[in-house]
């Protein structure tokens, strides 16, 4: 039997666009004959992957999941060509399988995720199978993993926005129903209100400087004394923080209280402490 080399696998991959493991299996089956291996892949429908690789992927889904103990979570964006496939349950199942792989392996980057195990096959093989099954170009766009403390998720619009929120908790079980409802509410807030950061302290200093410069320029146009201009700019910056940071935003379900006030209320009811730490917000196609 002819030996299958890495260079042969590489050549077959470039010819067909099929996954590495599929190419290796096909070459073994074809006893090292490249042309026969292409036929093996074509028979399985995998060689068609190459023809789809150049097509635009502007649709898809964002999938966010949380571990059973609610202490870690993963969010992935999987892209396809049409909204019809993007909303398909099979497509969403592929996205969830990839998210589970990300949660389990906590890869460093996209290439590491593609090589990660997903229930006995690589994530790259899962994507290839999705292409073969659904007949569209499908691309894994990005992912994020959050771990530590408590983590909650929310998916909006059937996968148009996916959110993970991370909390520090004391004296509260993150997997309890009371905390789960609270966490979902806060994640829903992130989806709806698009904060720039979790707290004013965590806003990028460059954003703060940019906003302040605009407010100072606006105040200067008023023609008022410099001390008044400074107060005007500071007031507008304060308004920016209250509108744009998660903890200070009015809670969407009860605008009479801020998100941090809602967190304090829930913490008191659950007999512990809750601090909102960070969030990840993926919008499809961004």
Any idea what the CATH number is for the domain that residue 213 is in? 1.10.286.20
* The last residue of a domain, from among 146, 176, 195: 146
Domain end, chosen from 98, 119, 146, is at 146
235, part of any domain: yes
Angle between helices 20-29 and 6-16 (to 10 degrees): 110
Radius of gyration of the chain (CA): 24
What confidence tens digit (pLDDT) does each residue in 136-150 have?
A: 899 999 999 999 999
Instruction: Based on the fold, state whether residues 95 and 134 are members of the same structural domain.
Output: yes
Using the predicted structure, report yes or no on whether residue 53 has a pLDDT greater than 80: no
Tokens describing residue 155: 């998916």
Residue 63's SS3 state is strand
When mean pLDDT is compared across 46-55, 96-105, 166-175, 263-272, the lowest value belongs to 46-55
User: How high is the pLDDT of residue 282?
Assistant: 97
Contact (Cβ atoms closer than 8 angstroms) between residue 23 and residue 125: no
Q: What is the pLDDT of residue 100?
A: 98
Nearest Cα to Cα of residue 175 among 95, 278, 67, 253: 67
The answer to whether residues 10 and 74 belong to one domain is no
Lowest mean pLDDT among 37-41, 131-135, 176-180: 37-41
Residue 56 scores a pLDDT above 80:
no
Among residues 107, 128, 146, which one ends one of the domains? 146
Closest CA to 274 of 159, 161, 149, 184: 149
pLDDT, tens only, 235-261: 999 999 999 999 999 999 999 999 999
216 contacts: CB under 8 Å, gap ≥ 6: 229, 230, 233
What's the domain count of the chain?
3
Between 205 and 221, the more confident residue is: 205
Token pair belonging to 274 = 């809750």
Structural domain span for residue 19: 4-51
């Amino acid at each position: 039997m002819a030996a299958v080399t890495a260079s042969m696998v590489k050549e077959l991959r470039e010819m067909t666009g099929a996954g590495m493991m599929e190419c290796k299996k096909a070459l073994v089956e074809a006893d090292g004959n490249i042309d026969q291996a292409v036929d093996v892949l074509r028979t399985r429908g995998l060689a068609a992957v190459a023809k789809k690789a150049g097509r635009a992927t502007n649709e898809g889904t964002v999938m966010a999941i949380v571990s059973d103990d609610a202490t870690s979570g993963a969010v992935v964006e999987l892209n396809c060509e049409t909204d019809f496939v993007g909303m398909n349950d099979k497509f969403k199942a592929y996205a969830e399988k990839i998210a589970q792989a990300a949660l389990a392996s906590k890869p460093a980057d996209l290439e590491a995720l593609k090589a990660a195990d997903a229930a006995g096959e690589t994530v790259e093989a899962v994507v290839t199978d999705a292409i073969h099954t659904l007949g569209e170009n499908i691309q894994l766009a990005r992912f994020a993993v959050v771990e530590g403390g408590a983590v909650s998720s929310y998916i909006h619009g059937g996968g148009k926005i996916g959110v993970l929120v991370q909390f520090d908790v004391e004296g509260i079980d993150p997997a309890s129903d009371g905390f789960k409802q609270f966490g979902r509410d806060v994640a829903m807030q992130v989806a709806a209100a698009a904060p720039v950061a979790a707290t004013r302290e965590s806003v990028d200093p460059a954003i703060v400087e940019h906003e302040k410069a605009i407010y100072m320029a606006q105040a200067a146009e008023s023609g008022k004394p410099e001390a008044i201009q400074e107060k005007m700019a500071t007031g507008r910056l304060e308004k920016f923080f209250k509108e744009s940071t998660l903890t200070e935003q009015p809670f969407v379900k009860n605008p009479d209280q801020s998100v941090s006030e809602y967190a304090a209320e829930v913490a008191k009811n659950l007999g512990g402490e809750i601090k909102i730490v960070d969030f990840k917000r993926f919008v499809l196609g961004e």
